[in-house]
Structure 1
């Protein structure tokens, strides 16, 4: 007897969705670089980059929460302990990670940034060895991580393989961001995840709140740094929809 599968359980549709998500994740690198140009955020304007990231994730988290509400998901049905867990995750998995990521991407190319970000896979394998008793490092895993990590680092050599070009403020920050993401993901799985029947709904809602919470931390004003606001500029492409970040006087309101 043939079972009728829903659309989201059909293998072909799942593969297409996964491929589309990979395309979206990959497009983040040129999109961020183009965003710096469209919003005229200078390379050394670190507060502007952090606020840029903050607004993106606050808006993304708010849209996801709105979408969950339209689906009838109980977005507010979380305990006090779970809210505190979301603050920790939002501060690490979103805010801290993307501080390093957005700054690092400003000082390296989009291609190198995407390749260097792949080091997160190796960090996950290494960290799992110290967290999970049933996921220890084997010789094959060690060799695979060493070869893979070396392959990622090859991108920093020039065409003659005689000069190693690695920028700590650029490539290094992207690698640090990858490490933070790996550590925060394992933190979620080992300390914060529960196995109740509504676990997946709570997990999805938690990630939406993490985006909104972490983005809010990114968007806050840093002491001693001029406030940042959003202003329209009709001469910039897409400004009518997205607006433009610009530095204001310290006394101005956001």
Structure 2
């Protein structure tokens, strides 16, 4: 995924009303740009942060610019535009970069499914095997108080995330393949866990989903101001996976 046209940058003044961000350009001018991230954005939105934004030529948009990348004080690059997680996941699957998700004839996006009025992010289909339902989550929370490089999801209580886990478990019970794909869009994250300290209910549902056969994949693309490209999988840690003495 290449940002075209190239991103422009400035310094973050403040993020407010969830979707609005004021940025001071190097020229001294202040502009307001759109922020697509509805989470807490902990560690991503400190005043003075260097931010990069894209520009749309759509005349119907109220705000022409969108916040794409933040650079943390430690020099890590973070893609804060949550819509990019689905886009890069789709692109990498189509490129064959995500080996566990290869071998399907068709890929569809935003397909209605389930009993809770949901849309699956990615649906892989093939005439010779069960369909694969993939829910994509964007991971940007780095918290190194306990261990270096530890990332967490979610960064705020998520009722939608809980619904999606229930739907994935239902699809698995119906004989399909279900995958929770964490797209780690923070260059400083080296491993991740469910954020039980933020949303204990979601963390418990992750454990239940794993026990029910839902697959958990964590993939970290290379994130930079030019774009995002394939990089590597990182470990996912949970009580379900840890030895008894380490829980």
TM-score range, shorter chain: under 0.3
TM-score (norm 1): 0.25
State the structure with bigger RCO (CA 8 A, min sep 6), 1 or 2. Answer: 1
Structure whose alpha-carbon radius of gyration is higher: 1
Which is richer in strand? 2
Which is richer in helix? 1
